[in-house]
Amino acid sequence: MSLTLRTISREQHLAYIQSLPSASHMQVPAWADVKAEWRSENLGWFDDRTGELVGVGLVLYRQLPKIKRYLAYLPEGPVINWFAPNLQEWIEPMLAHLKQQGAFSVKMGPPVIIRRWEAATIKKGIQNPDVKRLRDLEADFIEPRAFEVADKLRRMGWQQGEDGGAGFGDVQPRYVFQVPLANRSLEEVHKNFNQLWRRNIKKAEKAGVEVVQGGYEDLPEWQRLYEITAVRDHFRPRPLSYFQRMWTALNNEDPNRMRLYFARHNGVNLSAATMLIVGGHVWYSYGASDNIGREVRPSNAMQWRMLRDAYALGATVYDLRGISDSLDETDHLFGLIQFKVGTGGQAAEYLGEWDFPLNKLLHKALDIYMSRR
């Protein structure tokens, strides 16, 4: 198949995404409005024979300080046939186009999963003192074609993050935790939760925790809980305006793109979460909780409600997003994987993010600049 790449309209881009079973929420046209500090462009790949649109990509351009050169970033994209035998013919026109646009370096995150580990396998790994990382465990599923993709990218001159694949050099998480929903009943999904999760869901029900959906007007209340979380977990919170922009941009594109949930007890909101929906893929994207009321297990109740809602939407996967690959109980991120493993899903490893330096000197300068920040 011979291909032509050109800039397309947002409408064409969105129509293509809507024709797919799913795609990353960072590759929908509205994501450009969420990332307002970046310039953006919608790319389309066309089959020369039929003239049909066969792939899309959302590119975000970040300008280098003081010069008219850009870092071009395709988060969790582009949305193309990654297993095409002629992958080079998809990627090379993109590089040529981005270079023309003034890009000195390109970063992309192929939405290709290499390995999956079942919750039971991870649990065994946690109990084994010799196992420190997910990679130390034999995977339950391996996608051999993913290794071919990585080989082809390397041969084309793409480079992987400096960390050798631990996933922390990436901007987007390399390891995620997902609960598969396709061809399963809700009873099966619930049965797969570990004992602690099932107990906590029951506890929340008994205590009278209710989970409700919020709207745009509830975002300040979300922000209150999120800022409490930021102090507790030592991270810098995004401002309220970010979530307001996210809500407006995503829900203008599709009224069911972003949702907000609260778990409350005796009329007090104890935890909150945002949920994103693209086709059959549903993400739990941001979570927040108060320091009080933990004994009534609001977070478990909220996740169970979100999972049920995802199921009712016909989702094939409920994605709890990033985890670290560390299975060491002394690791500060261990609690996160422990919480998510309790849902009985699977850890998945993506191919990670790849860089192509179009201008080696500027690319190196950016690396140094980023490492000092």
Which two three-digit tokens encode residue 222? 């979300």
Task: Give the angle subtended at the CA of 173 by the CAs of 292 and 311, to the nearest 5°.
Answer: 65
CA–CA separation, 238 and 227 (whole Å):
9
pLDDT, tens digit (0-9, with 9 covering 90-100), for 140-190: 999 999 999 999 999 999 999 754 443 334 589 999 999 999 999 999 999
CA–CA separation, 253 and 231 (whole Å):
33
The yes-or-no verdict on residue 6 having pLDDT over 70 is yes
The three-state secondary structure class of 270 is: strand
Percent of the chain with pLDDT over 90: 90
The pLDDT assigned to 370 comes to 67
Provide the CA 47 distance to its chain's centre, in angstroms: 29
CB 13 within 8 A of CB 19: no
Q: Report the pLDDT averaged over residues 217-245.
A: 97
Classify 157 in phi/psi space as left (phi over 0), alpha (psi -120 to 50) or beta: left
Identify the CA nearest to 342 among candidates 124, 123, 173: 123
